[in-house]
Amino acid sequence: MQTLREFTRKTKRGNILKIVREHYLRDDIGCGSDLCKYCFQNEVYQLTSKHEIASSLFKFPHYLVLDTNVVLDQIDVLEEDVLHNVIVLTTVLNEVKHKSSSIYKRFNEIIHDRTRNFYVFVNEHHKDTYADRDPGETANDRNDRAIRMATKWYDTHLETSQSSKEFERSGMANTRVVLLTDDAGNRAKAEAEGILVASASEYVKSLEDFPLLLDKLSHKTFDNEKQALPQYPAHLSMKQVLEGLRLKKLLQGSFQASRENYLEGSVNVETYEKGILIQGRECLNRAVDGDLVAVELLPESEWSAPSEIVLEEKNVYADDVPSEERTEEEKDMLKQVQQAAAAASAERTPTGRIVGIVRRKWRQYCGILQPSLIENTNRHIFVPADRKIPRIRIETRQAAKLQNQRIIVTIDTWPRNSRYPQGHFVRSLGPLGDMATENEVILLEHDVPHCKFSEEVLSFLPKLPWSITAEDYAKRVDLRELDICSVDPPGCTDIDDALHCRELPNGNFEVGVHIADVSHFIRPGNALDKEAAARGTTVYLVGKRIDMVPELLSSNLCSLVGGVERFAFSCVWEVDKEANVIDKRFHKSVIKSKRAMTYEEAQVLIDDATQQSEIAKSLRHLNRLAKILKKRRMDNGALVLASPEIRFQVDSETHEPLEVEAKQMRETNSMVEEFMLLANITVAEHIAAEFTECAVLRRHPKPPPTNFDPLVKAARYQGFQVDTETGLVLSHSLDKCVKEDNPYFNTMIRILTTRCMMQAVYFISGSLQKEEFFHYGLAAPIYTHFTSPIRRYSDIMVHRLLAASIGADSTYAQLLERKSNEELCHNLNYRHKMAQYAARASVGLNTHLFFRGKEEDEEGYVLFVRKNALQVLIPKYGLEGTLYLKTDKDGKDGVERTKSEVIFTFNEEDHTQRCGNVVFHSFDPVSVRLSLDSSNVQHEKLVFRLVKPYIKGFSVEPSTDADIPPTKKTKKDTKKKN
């Protein structure tokens, strides 16, 4: 059966276009129920009599039909293994897909779980359930009518099947069909049409066997707040926001909340370099970090400056009414900040207020429940782990069980009359302080995709046993006889790269960089490719790796392990003895690495003159050439930067850190780095020439001069002049910053320089001018990433471009689409940044675990001198922390000190702190005692206390028993304990 769907569309020129489409209707679409005697069922019954649920509203067997809003709002309820026999209409599925891709994905996973009995009914193509749109009817009303029509049809259809004498003799109760919708208008119409209907909340409350499911209900309002007074200004409607943006009365940007001050934030707007400052609860107006907001700029006379006050919100309890005293305190605080800004008018920045929300970017948040003062209450305050996120009000009946647990909560709404947003409990992650729980928190808070790879993704992996075929050998260059080896960190299983070097008859050298050919296994556009693109990068935590691609590829078929034949993408040069490139070529190859080594093993092989194997000779040639390449880069202005990095030895059973040490850098680290850089630059030049509009490249913008201010001032106080005009002069300036009495001084200067840098980013060649391609840190005119496709999706994109350019693989439409590739680059930049933050958070977590229950005295250096603190760096651990100098009960360092005669005086001219005869400068050596402050269970922190130089009344008092040092856990002690 065929029907026609007609609709009109207005073109850009204002013409009205009538579109007519054929729409086929069928009568052979099965209902999926094992009760049905009429439908042809072409698969296993999805709706069965096995799963009956006890409901006080519907005391008989029933199937459920879900409205779109129920799926969108109550997905956390649906994910619980409680509701079965659910009919999913394609009308609803299409609406969910259109409105939220993330919820659509989660809903699809439920549908594909056969144990849940969710049946997709194609109501839009069934002749009895298709609803044509009436004249003047909105699309939403038509969809609501289609859902009601399908529900009615199902109920009648099943009633016919259950009216037989055979069914009556079975003694079974009749199964009915119930519609769940949270739309009051839709419910009223359904009742009028004789359909069994309920709201999601009513239905969940009726499930007497599952009382805890109530915690997962999405709440749009709490009953006692319906009459509460507004605490925030009303948001403008979307129509008003769009009109304001069009007339340029409003500005649009992404909101960033402050970690230090809960009454402050900023909005990143393209036309304002530093963004627009937002201060005060009313001006923040219910914006949550990440939201896209509309901002009204205040008159210049009302502009302010960012405060330097650390302001944490006091505990507020779930049933508190808005406190006038608290509101006045906040207003006083804001007034003080604005007065300070007025006094320093030169530092004032554009300031505004948020008047509307363009798009929410709410997600699931990790944190803990705040203990309640009221017994037997269901209402609680959730405190997020991320200080940027406001507290959230939730209702839960299992608060006692959830105390001292990490839990996940999501926001449902934030009405004007509520101090905090309202949300609901999603699930518990596990006990506070547990390693697995805390790692899960890190991954969730940094938006790292880490769920198991789906069956669809895994279906695109090669079938085992896998082997290289004769056809594969014919298409590739056979390099199995070459003495190729890999050099990686200890324990590395995802080996991306391998190297070889051999002397040619003409006296030159052939050098090859061989990269895992991941793009051979991951074909464009399939589920595996889409998953890798979404993840963007492999994330490395301490003792844990979250792969971008399934382990079969990352640690097996793609990994260039020793002694095994593997596919590679090779970049091979002919170079002379001075490392000048004479010729280059790219080809897909088959290699067989002769040995997989660690940096240390390779270094030993190079240094041991008795070793004369081909691998040892190859490594020595590579090392010599690498030194020449590095010197040439340095002479061109490349920067040698530094960051404090540490490595943990982790207990194989408990996964807790046993030892911690600063990472060691050897010549072999630099050797591998130089040839990877050379490969990346060589490939970048090639693909940019071949694909001028769509090459995937990486740039590192030059920092603005103001970024270097802290570095220049710190060096000047030490008697050194740092010139930042160009990368070359900066590099030379850094080389001169050397102190014979302080060997760590140059490293600290380079750490400061690293913090002045901008973030390197991926981009598409056609989106920028050639002069903007420059990579500042490497002093390279053009650069890309080619050498790590197992752990970076950008490298897979580059492999595909390179393969297409040399005829080793076919091209495809999306590969050459600038817009889609730009979107991919935006995601890769975000994922790369989040992966770095997650790795740092993991180091912080393991550092805290290492210092838990013990104290250590360590040597360090003052990195910065601040108005009320010293920033101290501990080279042994690569740790950095704050040594507060206040003498009152500031509580910031976890140790309450009483007021004493100890007074520190800050000198703004030379940035020093003086106490009596003791003066602290940047880079001065100090001795500090490290311990862990666990008074805040959610935000543990390392405490730094001064040991030397000794200041009476401030430094740690010397022990009366000189033989008793601060306590230390040893590896042996830890093992005994376990």
Angle between helices 139-161 and 184-192 (to 10 degrees): 40
- Asked whether residue 189 falls in the same domain as residue 110, the answer is yes
- Asked whether residue 280 falls in the same domain as residue 409, the answer is yes
CA distance 489 to 458: 28
Q: Is the Cα torsion angle 883, 886, 891, 892 positive or negative in sign?
A: negative
- Give me the pLDDT at residue 316, please: 56
- Asked whether residue 400 falls in the same domain as residue 461, the answer is no
- Asked whether residue 306 falls in the same domain as residue 426, the answer is yes
Distances (CA, A) of 341 to 271, 297, 344, 544: 23, 17, 5, 46
CATH number at 69 reads: 3.40.50.1010
Domain that residue 149 falls in: 26-208
The upper half-sphere exposure of residue 884, i.e. CA atoms within 13 Å in the direction of its Cβ, equals 14
CA distance 252 to 967: 55
Domain boundary, last residue among 173, 208, 243: 208
- Asked whether residue 235 falls in the same domain as residue 202, the answer is no
- Asked whether residue 618 falls in the same domain as residue 554, the answer is yes
- Asked whether residue 960 falls in the same domain as residue 821, the answer is no
Residues 6+ apart with CB under 8 A from 579: 625, 628, 629, 632
In a domain, 297, yes or no: yes
* Furthest CA-CA distance within the chain: 104
Residues 6+ apart with CB under 8 A from 336: none
Distances (CA, A) of 299 to 246, 249, 258, 302: 20, 12, 23, 6
- Asked whether residue 405 falls in the same domain as residue 482, the answer is no
The amino acid occupying position 134 is D
- Give me the pLDDT at residue 492, please: 86
Residues 6+ apart with CB under 8 A from 303: 277, 341, 348, 349, 350, 351
CA distance 937 to 724: 43
In a domain, 302, yes or no: yes
CA distance 155 to 65: 11
In a domain, 590, yes or no: yes
Taking 70 as the pLDDT cut, the residues of the chain under it are: 1-10, 12, 18-21, 41-45, 220-228, 308-347, 643-663, 886-901, 908, 936-937, 959-978
**Would you say 551 and 439 are in contact if contact means Cβ atoms under 8 Å apart?**
no
| DSSP state string for 954-968 | TSPPPPSSTT-PPP-
Strand 176-180 relative to strand 62-66, pairing: parallel
Tokens standing for residue 450: 């880490």
- Asked whether residue 171 falls in the same domain as residue 79, the answer is yes
**Would you say 591 and 570 are in contact if contact means Cβ atoms under 8 Å apart?**
yes
| DSSP state string for 475-509 | HSEE-TTS--EEEE-TT-----EEEEEEE-TTS-E
Q: Is the Cα torsion angle 577, 795, 270, 713 positive or negative in sign?
A: negative
CA distance 816 to 20: 33
- Asked whether residue 265 falls in the same domain as residue 152, the answer is no
- Give me the pLDDT at residue 846, please: 84
In a domain, 746, yes or no: no
| Structural domains counted in the chain | 4
Query: Which tens digit of pLDDT belongs to each residue from 909-920?
Result: 777 888 888 888
- Asked whether residue 195 falls in the same domain as residue 121, the answer is yes
CATH number at 924 reads: 2.40.50.140
Length of the chain in terms of residues written: 978
Neighbouring CB atoms inside 10 A of 42's CB total 9
Beta strands in 116-250 (DSSP E): 118-121, 176-180, 196-198
Beta-bridge mates of residue 964 = none
Domain boundary, last residue among 768, 803, 834: 834
CA distance 417 to 182: 22
CATH number at 275 reads: 2.40.50.690
CB crowding 700-712: b at 16 or more within 10 Å, else e: beebeeeebebbb
3-state secondary structure of 109: helix
CA distance 708 to 722: 9
In Å, how far from its chain's centre is CA 399? Answer: 29
Domain boundary, last residue among 145, 173, 208: 208
Classify burial at 344, counting beta carbons within 10 Å of its beta carbon; exposed 0-12, middle 13-18, buried 19 or more: exposed
Contacts 24+ apart (CB under 8 A), 314-319: 315/370, 315/381, 316/381, 316/391, 316/419, 316/420, 317/370, 317/372, 317/373, 317/374, 317/381, 318/372, 318/374, 318/377, 318/379, 318/380, 318/381, 318/393, 319/374, 319/377, 319/379
3-state secondary structure of 695: coil
- Asked whether residue 366 falls in the same domain as residue 266, the answer is yes
In a domain, 3, yes or no: no
Phi, psi (5° rounding) for residue 972? Answer: -65, -45
User: Which residue has tokens 């080793």?
Assistant: 808
In a domain, 538, yes or no: yes
In a domain, 704, yes or no: no
Neighbouring CB atoms inside 10 A of 46's CB total 24
In a domain, 677, yes or no: yes
